Amino acid sequence: MLSAIETLRARGEKMALATVVASRGSTYRRPGARLLVAESGDLIGNISGGCLDNDIKREAKEVMAGKGARLVDFDLTADDEAVWGWGLGCNGALEVFVEPPDHAAEVIGSLRLALEERRTIGLVTALSSSLEGVEPGARLVVHPDGRTEGGLGNPDLDGLSADAALDALQTRKAGRRTLLVEGRGEASVFIEPLEPPIRLLICGAGEDVIPLVHLSAALGWETVLADDREQLLNHERFPEATGFVVLPNASDLVKEAGVDRLTASIVMSHNYVRDQDYLKALLGTEVIYIGMLGPKARLRRLLPDLAKEGIYPSEVDEPKIFGPAGLDVGAEGPDEIAWAVIAEIMAVRSGRNAGFLKHREGPTHPREKTSAGV
């Protein structure tokens, strides 16, 4: 989305940015989903299954004509043919903020730098306000250490927004909030934590890695491959890979490849000794997932062999180790196994236990808070 805004600006083409800022009930997308509408009519991103595109385009034309940002409510909770005629296939409500992305462009540099440096930040967007000086679309960037960039036009509101954004960084939930500035007024803001993509560190570069790289890239994840066979690590073989690490010594994995709290790893070199060294290197790191390809018996042998060296998974490490890697979906062959592994990583990242949604009690997605103040 950042790249699209930058490209259209460079062309001098008008555009409008539509963002889901609140939802209720069952909806196709959740808060934070975006759709960029170019003056040419091209659409980048999505906020529905396509059924709201014409309505959003109409609002976008008004915005591009200089008629200002606006909040648009799509209430689909009524059970009648008019509502279902929208074709959403869900019975909920969406609140969408449509704006010229001028204010967004002002903070693009900060957003891009944070993502490239793999830093999580909070982004606050003013939607509407009774406070003097606060314009719809104004943005505040909030760093985990409390530092801020940009501003909403009111120092008191900035302070409240920064606190709310820090909370959102902890919960990892985006949502619309009403912030009250005592004795002066209130503002409706959209607060969202923006995280870098998952980095998938694949230890191995065999044929079965190819579909895993393809699926990872399709989700926008960074994908780094590590192997001692330099001839296998190239973009002709893995065109969608983010990077390669030639690793003669598997124990140097973390030092050479780097890991952080948004790194998931999968060990699949099919070489027992190297896989043992890869696992040894990953223990005690920030990675959120350590997948071990192969039968359970192989992991049951690896761990005692590490224990002979005095190396044991800690209480923090043990829940991260998944062997055999992948959800139990009856996967057979590299492509299906890749799907199962990717889905398992998604479940771990989301704090879910996977399983069938029909067995889940309550809503599929937690409900977000909508108001706060002092």
Task: With H, G, I as helix, E, B as strand and everything else as coil, classify residue 84.
Answer: helix
Residue 252 burial (CB count, 10 A):
14
Amino acid 357: pLDDT: 81
Cβ atoms of residues 256 and 226 within 8 Å:
yes
Amino acid 374: pLDDT: 40
Cα 41 to Cα 16: distance, rounded to the nearest angstrom: 10
Amino acid 367: pLDDT: 55
Cα 321 to Cα 313: distance, rounded to the nearest angstrom: 9
Domain 199-350: CATH superfamily, name plus number: NAD(P)-binding Rossmann-like Domain (3.40.50.720)
Amino acid 29: pLDDT: 77
Q: Which amino acid is at 286?
A: E
Cβ atoms of residues 314 and 325 within 8 Å:
no
Parallel, antiparallel, or unpaired: how do β-strands 263-267 and 43-45 relate?
unpaired
Burial class (CB in 10 A: 0-12, 13-18, 19+), 191: buried
Cβ atoms of residues 20 and 31 within 8 Å:
yes
pLDDT in tens, the chain (374 residues): 888 888 888 999 999 999 999 887 767 678 888 999 999 988 888 887 767 888 889 999 999 999 999 999 887 665 444 444 444 445 677 889 999 988 878 888 888 888 888 889 999 999 999 999 999 999 999 999 999 999 999 999 999 999 999 999 998 889 999 999 988 899 999 999 998 999 999 999 999 999 999 999 999 999 999 999 999 999 999 999 999 999 999 999 999 999 999 999 999 999 999 999 999 999 999 999 999 999 999 999 999 999 999 999 999 999 999 999 999 999 999 999 999 999 999 999 988 888 888 887 766 665 555 444 44
The full set of domain ranges for the chain reads 2-78+94-102, 107-196, 199-350
Cα 341 to Cα 353: distance, rounded to the nearest angstrom: 14
Q: SS3 for 328-355, per residue?
A: CCCCCHHHHHHHHHHHHHHHHHHCCCCC
Task: With H, G, I as helix, E, B as strand and everything else as coil, classify residue 252.
Answer: helix
Cβ atoms of residues 266 and 200 within 8 Å:
yes
Q: How far is CA 94 from the centre of its chain?
A: 20
Across the strands, what pairs with 99?
17
Parallel, antiparallel, or unpaired: how do β-strands 199-203 and 222-227 relate?
parallel
